[in-house]
């Protein structure tokens, strides 16, 4: 019995689907979730753990840009398709990484939504000395083609550091394009940090930083004597947090995890988070809903969930359902800091 190949759902995938091209053996770089892609025969390279798990769940192959690296025939694909991200700096990093990773002359196609800035790749490629031609355009998306070459720029240069110290206490954080709050201290995280003192003792407590980003919460908690675990679904964030802890001489466990997926059976004295609610340009409450709804299963009795969120987000109802009650620790009209305790 033949299984019908799924049709492309995402506009950029629909644009690729209509091309007269054999993509078997190609690399798909930073792809969106799409059944048509996941049913193909290429290799996904993504910093997003959920994307890699979806590909593997469909019987495909997927890798992180950090580890493990593809080997054998997978390491020399017939070509690659880069899905241009919302962050142009991240798109440029992927280009530099591809130029350094794949053989010179490897075909590269770049696809993205027009409103997401895909047309900017013309200037980016020209600056790198790479030629480019437009292959197609439809559904408010564009597809370009080039060939990889040696560009003499190290992709590692995208890693930067900045000081996120509070109250005169310096704290060095590592940052990378695509990591939340890239290169600066987010206002919501600042409010959360200001509200934390006095909420619970940190010394010797097991605390979880959920959605660790650049590691500011993990580093602050570790500096105050907590035993910190930090998780994020984004491999760039995991690497940034590891670098941030190391830069400040601090210890902590840092894991890739889709919310609690890497933490089965584990419980903490507190879970602290500035949870995301965007996936690219779309609002996505899924991760935050799971963070709140499953938190009681990962807290010890008396343990607290402490989160900061935009004031308009519908989290009070979710906190009420999960914990029975909650309190607001801080509110500056833009953001609120909530605490809910497991009874």
Residue 184 and residue 245 in one domain: yes
Contact assessment for residue 301 and residue 334, using Cβ atoms and an 8 Å cutoff: no
Phi, psi of 136 (to 5 degrees): -165, 165
Residue 104 and residue 198 in one domain: no
Residue 58 and residue 197 in one domain: no
Residue 125 and residue 203 in one domain: no
Residue 87 and residue 196 in one domain: no
Query: Residue 295 falls within a domain, yes or no?
Result: yes
- Last residue of some domain: 155, 186, 207? 155
pLDDT tens over the chain, length 343 residues: 455 779 999 999 999 999 988 898 899 999 999 999 998 889 999 999 999 999 999 999 999 998 766 666 577 899 999 999 989 999 999 999 999 999 999 999 999 999 998 999 999 999 999 999 999 999 999 999 999 999 989 999 999 999 998 877 899 999 999 999 888 999 999 999 999 998 888 999 999 999 999 999 999 999 999 999 999 999 999 999 999 999 999 999 999 999 999 999 999 999 999 997 645 445 557 889 999 999 999 999 999 999 999 999 989 999 999 999 999 999 999 999 999 999 9
Question: Per the structure block, which two tokens stand in for 272?
Answer: 């602290």
Q: Which domain holds residue 141?
A: 11-155
Query: Residue 6 falls within a domain, yes or no?
Result: no
pLDDT, residue 284, reads: 59
Residue 334 belongs to a domain with what CATH number? 3.40.50.150
Residue 211 and residue 337 in one domain: yes
Residue 150 and residue 26 in one domain: yes
Query: Residue 127 falls within a domain, yes or no?
Result: yes
Residue 150 and residue 167 in one domain: no
**Tokens 């500011």 label which residue?**
216
Residue 242 and residue 149 in one domain: no
pLDDT, residue 165, reads: 83
Residue 137 and residue 166 in one domain: no
Tally of CB atoms within 10 A around 94: 24
Question: Per the structure block, which two tokens stand in for 22?
Answer: 């054999």
Number of domains observed in the structure of the chain: 2
Query: Residue 334 falls within a domain, yes or no?
Result: yes
pLDDT, residue 280, reads: 47
Query: Residue 3 falls within a domain, yes or no?
Result: no
Residue 86 and residue 214 in one domain: no
Apex CA 303: angle with CA 258 and CA 289, to 5°? 35
Contact assessment for residue 268 and residue 84, using Cβ atoms and an 8 Å cutoff: no
- Last residue of some domain: 155, 182, 204? 155
What whole-number distance in Å separates Cα of residue 175 and Cα of residue 241?
9
Residue 280 and residue 139 in one domain: no
For residue 55, what are the CA distances in angstroms to 29, 44, 90?
13, 7, 22
pLDDT, residue 200, reads: 83
Contact assessment for residue 50 and residue 33, using Cβ atoms and an 8 Å cutoff: yes
First to last CA, the chain: 54
- Last residue of some domain: 112, 131, 155? 155
**Residues β-bridged to residue 104:** none
pLDDT tens-digit readout, 257-268? 999 999 999 999
pLDDT, residue 279, reads: 52
Residue 86: DSSP 8-state: S
Note the residue count of the chain. 343
Query: Residue 5 falls within a domain, yes or no?
Result: no
Supply the pTM of this predicted model. Answer: 0.93
Apex CA 198: angle with CA 193 and CA 204, to 5°? 90
What whole-number distance in Å separates Cα of residue 182 and Cα of residue 337?
22
Query: Residue 1 falls within a domain, yes or no?
Result: no
pLDDT, residue 41, reads: 81
């Amino acid at each position: 019995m033949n299984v019908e190949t799924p049709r492309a759902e995402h506009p950029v995938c629909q644009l690729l689907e209509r091309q007269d091209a054999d993509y078997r053996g190609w690399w798909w770089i930073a792809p969106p979730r799409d059944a048509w892609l996941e049913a193909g025969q290429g290799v996904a390279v993504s910093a997003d753990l959920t994307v890699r798990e979806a590909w593997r769940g469909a019987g495909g192959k997927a890798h992180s840009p950090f580890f493990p690296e593809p080997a054998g025939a997978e390491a020399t694909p017939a070509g690659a398709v880069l899905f241009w991200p919302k962050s142009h700096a991240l798109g440029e990093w992927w280009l530099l990484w591809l130029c350094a990773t794949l053989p010179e002359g490897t075909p590269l196609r770049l696809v993205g939504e027009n409103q997401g800035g895909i047309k900017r790749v013309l200037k980016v490629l020209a600056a790198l000395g790479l030629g480019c031609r437009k292959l197609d355009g439809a559904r408010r998306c564009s597809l370009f083609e080039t060939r990889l070459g040696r560009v003499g720029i190290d992709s590692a240069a995208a890693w930067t550091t900045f000081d996120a110290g509070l109250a005169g206490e310096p704290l060095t954080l590592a940052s990378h394009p695509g990591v939340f709050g890239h290169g600066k201290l987010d206002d919501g995280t600042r409010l959360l940090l200001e509200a934390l003192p006095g909420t619970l003792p940190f010394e010797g407590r097991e605390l979880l930083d959920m959605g660790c980003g650049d590691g500011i919460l993990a580093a602050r908690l570790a500096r105050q004597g907590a035993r910190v675990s930090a998780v994020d679904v984004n491999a760039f964030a995991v690497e940034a947090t590891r670098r941030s802890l190391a830069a400040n001489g601090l210890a902590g466990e840092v894991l890739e995890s889709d919310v609690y997926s890497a933490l089965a059976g584990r419980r903490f004295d507190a879970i602290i988070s500035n949870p995301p609610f965007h996936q690219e340009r779309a609002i996505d409450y899924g991760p935050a809903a799971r963070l709140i709804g499953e938190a009681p299963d990962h807290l010890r009795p008396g343990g607290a969930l402490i989160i900061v969120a935009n004031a308009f987000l519908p989290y009070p109802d979710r906190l009420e359902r999960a914990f029975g009650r909650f309190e607001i620790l801080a509110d500056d009209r833009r953001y609120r800091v909530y605490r809910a305790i497991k009874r």
